[in-house]
Chains A and B, each alone.
Chain A
Amino acid sequence: GAVVSQHPSRVICKSGTSVKIECRSLDFQATTMFWYRQFPKKSLMLMATSNEGSKATYEQGVEKDKFLINHASLTLSTLTVTSAHPEDSSFYICSARDRTDASYEQYFGPGTRLTVT
């Protein structure tokens, strides 16, 4: 089946630093990737849709300058949390769509747990 990886799985950083999270589709090409954020005991909240070769589309209320998304290739999208603060601590999950899959199903990565101290 389709596999999506995320790196790192856990990261702890100091307030004010930037953190980059990678999302890779390992055995398929993904023209579209999605970034979600999940607070403890809450549901997944879509942050942005990342399209290869174009600018990401952000959901309402998500700061694009705070959460920089780059989808530079058909297998890689990155999310950079700039000038991170403790309130950015969360579980970040990416998903990817196989460009050849007519059902447009999303395949999820294992998530990245970010802790900002």
Chain B
Amino acid sequence: AQKVTQAQTEISVVEKEDVTLDCVYETRDTTYYLFWYKQPPSGELVFLIRRNSFDEQNEISGRYSWNFQKSTSSFNFTITASQVVDSAVYFCALSGTGANSKLTFGKGITLSVRP
């Protein structure tokens, strides 16, 4: 069975602070995908990143960076110099790689960035 744990439920920071959102996963698959999604108040899920389990390179995209550590089954997400527009719920998710694979979501982290 697959499981995604986002232990942090709510985080509040002041604008320009850096913030890290934690994600720990469990799977028996040897090949899998990890995702991060952003859900702003409008409700629409915004895709942020997909990472293949074979690719442990960290990734940076503008103010966003991701740290994938297979040894600790973690896929953490850092926002540098946070902005008010970053306020949203962030979901980490995991899927297998087969045609019948399903996405397993964590419970989400509500990030509030105060001006």
Chain B interface, DSSP helix/strand/loop, else mixed: loop
B41 to chain A, nearest CB (A): 12
Top 7 A-B residue pairs of the complex, sorted by shortest distance between their CB atoms: A110-B44, A108-B45, A111-B43, A43-B107, A43-B105, A44-B105, A43-B108
Take A104-B98, A104-B101 as given contacts and tell me if A113 and B43 are in contact as well, using a CB distance cutoff of 8 Å: yes
Q: Is the CB of B95 within 8 A of A104?
A: yes
Between A and B, 16 residue pairs with Cβ closer than 8 Å are A34-B103, A42-B108, A43-B106, A44-B105, A95-B103, A103-B97, A104-B95, A104-B98, A104-B101, A106-B103, A108-B45, A108-B47, A110-B42, A110-B43, A110-B44, A111-B44
Chain A interface, DSSP helix/strand/loop, else mixed: strand
CA distance A25 to B25 in the complex (A): 30
CA distance A8 to B104 in the complex (A): 26
Interface size classification for chain B: 20 to 34
Q: Is the CB of A108 within 8 A of B44?
A: yes
CA distance A21 to B78 in the complex (A): 36
Q: Give the residues in chain B near A68, CB-CB below 8 Å.
A: none
Cβ of A116 within 8 Å of any chain B Cβ, yes or no, is no
Q: In chain A between 79 and 103, which residues have their CB closer than 8 angstroms to a CB of chain B? A: 91, 93, 95, 103
Cβ of B33 within 8 Å of any chain A Cβ, yes or no, is yes
CA distance A106 to B32 in the complex (A): 14
Cβ of A27 within 8 Å of any chain B Cβ, yes or no, is no
Q: Give the residues in chain A near B105, CB-CB below 8 Å.
A: 43-44
CA distance A95 to B35 in the complex (A): 14
Instruction: Give B65-93 as 1s and 0s: 1 = Cβ < 8 Å from A's Cβ atoms.
Output: 00000000000000000000000000100
